[in-house]
Structure 1
Amino acid sequence: MQALIIGAAGMVGAKLAASLAADPAGITGLALVDVVAPEPPAGGIPATSGTLDLADAAAVAAEVATRPDVIFHLAAIVSGEAEANFEKGYRVNFDGTRNLFEAIRAQPDYRPRVVFTSSIAVFGAPFPDAIGDTFFSQPLTSYGTQKAMGELLLNDYSRRGFLDGVGIRLPTICIRPGAPNKAASGFFSNILREPLAGREAVLPVSEDVRHWHASPRAAVGFLRHAMTMDTGPLGARRCLTMPGLSATVGEQIEALRRVAGDAAAALIRREPDETIARIVAGWPENFDPARALALGFEADPSFEAIIEQHIADELGGTIGPR
């Protein structure tokens, strides 16, 4: 099978490519594209790298004309940037997604597996104590709206037989390695990643803010499972909320303290930001992902485990200044 990863220069895309290169699970070749050329992973399967702007319908059609068996659609303008730049968010997150699906539809006798990364931002307040599989999708941000529209397209194009879609609503990924991005959720990772490296981190919201999280390892596991799962049980509802961990910021900090000690926790500086607090206030806090669990998706065991994974995967097994 040939696989195409759109958004392969991003953190999750790069980790997915590395995982498939190390353990192909039937994949015989990888095509990696993004707005900047991704770095091909080391491994035993051939990989190509190139650039692609999803808003360029002709370029998308040319890429899809190679007829990959599996397409991972990971590309997106993140939440904070989509809220700040209305036109850019819709051009990439909605128009780009439709360009991709239309390019697939235009290919005769072609029905690839399409794994689409959506978001828990498709849900908007007020929320129940735990959001179940039948809760209404009523987002309160432009990013959430764009992702909800993508989900509807995925359902409809799958129903019509143009593609075989699986939509996975990712929890907020924590701990994200590397430099901070423009996501409004970035502080959830920053308050753990930076202290683990011996650096100060800014906390812009109160410690009682609760959210739904998954590690990078779990996210890659979700994508790999979506690639190979039997989609028959999905029926017409192709999008699933992924399992995760519900934790408050205070609980995150206590997990950091248990793993890395008081000195690491002391590096978190409280600096309220009303804009971020307002965005986060409209986000869901807890889920009952019974449908995804029944279909074989697996969550992280604890926040301590998430922190320990980051130390192992990104810090060479040690913490402190580097």
Structure 2
Amino acid sequence: MHVMILGAAGMIGRKLVERIAREPSVLSGAISRLTLIDAFQPPVPEALQAVSTALTIDLAQAGVADKLIETRPDMIFHLAAIVSGEAEADFDKGYSVNLDGTRALFDAIRQQSLKSTYVPRVVFASSIAVFGTPFPEVIPDEFFATPLTSYGTQKAIAELLLADYSRRGIFDGIGIRLPTICVRPGAPNKAASGFFSNILREPLVGKEAVLPVSENVRHWFASPRSAVGFFVHAATIDTAKIGPRRNLTMPGLSALVGEEIEALRRVAGDKAVALIKREADPVIERIVAGWPTQFDASRASALGFKAETNFDQILQVHIEDELGGRIA
């Protein structure tokens, strides 16, 4: 089986590759070829060196997607994107990366399918940012997509494309609407949602973090470990069980920022909480105000997707996976 991962240098992409390295049969078949692609050099675990090719390219550039799909990968994970804050700040780049690159990929698959039978599984990283206010208290899968950011709009358009190309039998697609992933490892990025992780990750290692919104902000969360689990399950699920509505809102945890902070207090004490500095940011407040807060993800749950149920679990995942089981 030839597996291709676009966005393999990103946080979830790296963790997905690491999962494959630890569990070679996790995608329900032996991997004979693994192609890792990103705008930055994707790392390749030693266990996968013999079957892997790592490429540094821009999917949105003319002809790139066609050359990639000429190799006819059996399974494609499309995780490549620029994050919400950057997509909002740079209109052209957001549409180029998040929409044009996706359309080029999907149509490259279509061109291959016209030559001879070719129907790969495509797993696409979407986002709960496809939804916009006003919201009901709990948002069902059937709620209409009216995004209030450019990032959400780009993801919503890609969801429609994925459903249409799947309906026409061009590929077998499934879109994964990710919750905000927390706690993200590494340095802060340009995502508007980055502070949700920053106020936990930095204090756990004795560093200050800035909270730009009220503690009463509520949001929808899952850990990086759960996110990788979503993609692995999506890659192996019988899509006949999903039907024509190919984009699924993933299970998660609805929690207040204040509940995040109290979980941090339980795990690391008052000293860690004191490292959180309140500095209001009107731009971040405006973006976050248009985001959903709680979902009915019963459809995805019934299909076998799973996530954490409290913030103590999310913190424990971060401590185990990123801090070697220890905190400062």
The structural deviation recorded for 1:21 is 1.4
Within-5 A mapping of 1:99-114: 99-107=104-112, 108=115, 109-114=117-122
Structure 1 unaligned runs (5+)? none
Within-5 A mapping of 1:226-265: 226-265=234-273
Q: 1:27 to 1:14 in 2, by over 3 A?
A: farther
Alpha-carbon distance between aligned partners in 1 of 2:108 and 2:257, rounded to the nearest angstrom:
42
Residue type at the aligned position of 1:163: F
Alpha-carbon distance between aligned partners in 2 of 1:101 and 1:255, rounded to the nearest angstrom:
42
Q: Which shows bigger deviation, 26-35 or 100-109?
A: 26-35
The correspondence for 2:311, drawn from 299, 303, 306, is 303
Q: 1:231 to 1:152 in 2, by over 3 A?
A: same
Partner of 2:47: helix, strand, or coil?
coil
Residue type at the aligned position of 1:24: P
Partner of 1:57: helix, strand, or coil?
coil
The structural deviation recorded for 1:27 is 4.1
The structural deviation recorded for 1:43 is 2.1
Q: Do residues 201 (structure 1) and 209 (structure 2) align?
A: yes
Residue type at the aligned position of 1:106: Q
The correspondence for 2:128, drawn from 120, 132, 144, is 120
Alpha-carbon distance between aligned partners in 2 of 1:116 and 1:140, rounded to the nearest angstrom:
21
Alpha-carbon distance between aligned partners in 1 of 2:2 and 2:257, rounded to the nearest angstrom:
41
Q: 1:189 to 1:196 in 2, by over 3 A?
A: same
1:24 counterpart residue number: 24
1:61 counterpart residue number: 66
Alpha-carbon distance between aligned partners in 1 of 2:247 and 2:265, rounded to the nearest angstrom:
36
1:41 counterpart residue number: 45
Native 8 Å contact 1:41 1:47 kept in 2: no
The correspondence for 2:324, drawn from 290, 297, 316, is 316
The structural deviation recorded for 1:234 is 1.6
Alpha-carbon distance between aligned partners in 2 of 1:27 and 1:139, rounded to the nearest angstrom:
39
Question: Aligned residue pairs: how many?
Answer: 320
Q: Do residues 217 (structure 1) and 225 (structure 2) align?
A: yes
Residue type at the aligned position of 1:37: Q
Residue type at the aligned position of 2:36: L
Partner of 1:114: helix, strand, or coil?
strand
1:10 counterpart residue number: 10
Within-5 A mapping of 1:178-193: 178-193=186-201
The structural deviation recorded for 1:312 is 1.2
1:89 counterpart residue number: 94
The structural deviation recorded for 1:165 is 0.1
Runs of 4+ in 1 over 3 A off after TM superposition: none
Partner of 2:34: helix, strand, or coil?
strand
The structural deviation recorded for 1:57 is 3.3
Alpha-carbon distance between aligned partners in 2 of 1:150 and 1:225, rounded to the nearest angstrom:
20
Structure 2 unaligned runs (5+)? none
Alpha-carbon distance between aligned partners in 2 of 1:135 and 1:77, rounded to the nearest angstrom:
25
Residue type at the aligned position of 2:193: S
TM-score (norm 2): 0.96
Q: Deviations over 1:253-298 (max 9, x none)?
A: 0001011111111110000000000000000000000110010000
Residue type at the aligned position of 2:56: T
Partner of 1:56: helix, strand, or coil?
coil
1:282 counterpart residue number: 290
TM-score (norm 1): 0.98
Aligned residues: percent identity? 67
2:182 counterpart residue number: 174
Residue type at the aligned position of 1:30: L
Residue type at the aligned position of 1:231: T
Alpha-carbon distance between aligned partners in 2 of 1:240 and 1:136, rounded to the nearest angstrom:
13
Alpha-carbon distance between aligned partners in 1 of 2:310 and 2:233, rounded to the nearest angstrom:
21
1:148 counterpart residue number: 156
Residue type at the aligned position of 1:58: G
Residue type at the aligned position of 1:96: G
Native 8 Å contact 1:2 1:27 kept in 2: no
The correspondence for 2:79, drawn from 58, 74, 77, is 74
Alpha-carbon distance between aligned partners in 2 of 1:316 and 1:293, rounded to the nearest angstrom:
30
Alpha-carbon distance between aligned partners in 2 of 1:241 and 1:27, rounded to the nearest angstrom:
29
Alpha-carbon distance between aligned partners in 2 of 1:27 and 1:40, rounded to the nearest angstrom:
17
Q: Which shows bigger deviation, 58-67 or 200-209?
A: 58-67
Residue type at the aligned position of 1:225: H
